[in-house]
Structure formats: C-alpha cells, structure tokens
Structure 1
Amino acid sequence: MAGHPPGFLALVNEAKSRIREVAAAELPALLKQNPAIRLIDTREESEYAAGHVRGAEWIGKGVIERDIESKHPDHDTPLYLYCGGGFRSALAADALQRMGYTQVVSVDGGWRELKSLLPTE
C-alpha cells in the first residue's frame, strides 16, 4: 500500500470492509469451476490495451456505474473485477453492490499477479 495517499487508502479500506475479495491465485480455479463468471478489467483503457487477462472485458472504474447495466443487466451475474493491484476494483465492487449487484468480487493482487497466472492478450 506504500505510495498511496492516506485519504485514498482509507476509502479503499472502508470499501473492502463491505465487499467480497478473492486472492488472484484463487481465480484460475474459480474460472474453471464457474464458466458464468464475467471477468472485468476496471483499469484505464490504455492499461487494458497494453495487456489484460484473455477474455476479460474492459469497463473502466470511471465508467462502470454508467455502463454496467447495459452490458450486464442481470444483477445476479457473477462479476469478478480486477485492476492493477486490487484497490480500484474494490471501490468499483462497492459501487456495484450499492447498485444491487449480488455477486460482485474484487480480485486482490489484480493484474500485477494475474498476468503470471492466466493467459493474457
């Protein structure tokens, strides 16, 4: 968590107290067990373009609240969100839960760890 300002970290920690998280190392097995999982990359579009988990859909944190219902209207769809390390995805997961999504999970470790665990594009 070094390098992040204290106000941001407080916001992230508060969000993390309300959401579900999985460690990045758990994600490959979860994806095999449940093909209904939708993996969403919440990083900036330029980060996604530079590399992402194969099959992940880009819906950036800046637009996810606006775009999620048109892309995933079923609020019971399992949505697994990742970012660079797990902070932005935690904030996005918190927002989606408040919008009524019931199966939102943030991937702790994010792209930093996922790129060595899953195929990438």
Structure 2
Amino acid sequence: MSGFLERPSRIRRVVAGLTVVGAVALAGFTVLERPLVGVTVFGLAITGVMVAMYRTERPVFDERDEQISREAAEWTLSLLGISSMLVFPTLTFAWGVDKFEWQPWSTAIAMFVAVLYLIYGAFLVVLRSQR
C-alpha cells in the first residue's frame, strides 16, 4: 500500500476529494455540453475511490463517521424540505398569476424533490412497520 494512504484519515480525505472532483466534473462538463467527458472523469474518480477503499487493510470509517453522516443527511433533508416548502408553492402561485413560466429544468428539480420525499416517506412507512 502507498505510504500516503496508510492512515484512515488520509483515505477519507482522498475519498471525499475524488467524490467532489467527480461530481463537479460530471455537472460542469454536462453544463458545458461535454457529458461524455464528465461521465469519464466521474467514472475515473469513483474508480479511484474504490481502489483506495479496497487497498486499505483496516476500517476507514467508524461509528463516529456514521453518526456524522447520519446528522448531515438529517440536516440536508431538513434544509431541502424547508426551502422546498417555501419555494415551490411560491413558484406555483407565480405561475398561476402569469409571473413565472415553468421551464424543463425547474420542472425537473420540482419532480426530483417530490420523488425524493416520496421515497423518504415510503422508507418511513416500511421501517415503522418493521419495528
């Protein structure tokens, strides 16, 4: 194993860095109308993540990391939910009074958020029924 990747903290940084690079490249090159470049960079970055994780001989993420990830997910869903609760009814009202026109991108975002919360609700129902 590479000396640089011997400590779990360094592997976590590499995983985070490669994930961000891959995601930004995918979004950026898609906006620049070069989606195949974006997908290629994303694929290489995620391959790098898998190689780094595979080559480690001890756990990279522990209970503390899981708790931090859980808390970040809670904050993300809360922020997305609150902002959606404010933004989408406002846009729908503006559309109703001819002050806003839904574009394909804004419709896609609205549908994504709706599906995200439908999936969340489905998991809530399933998990509650199991306990």
Whether these two folds match at TM > 0.5 is no
Q: Hey, which of these two has a bigger chunk of strand by percent? A: 1
Relative to the length of structure 2, the TM-score reads 0.18
Relative to the length of structure 1, the TM-score reads 0.19
Which has more radius of gyration?
Answer: 2
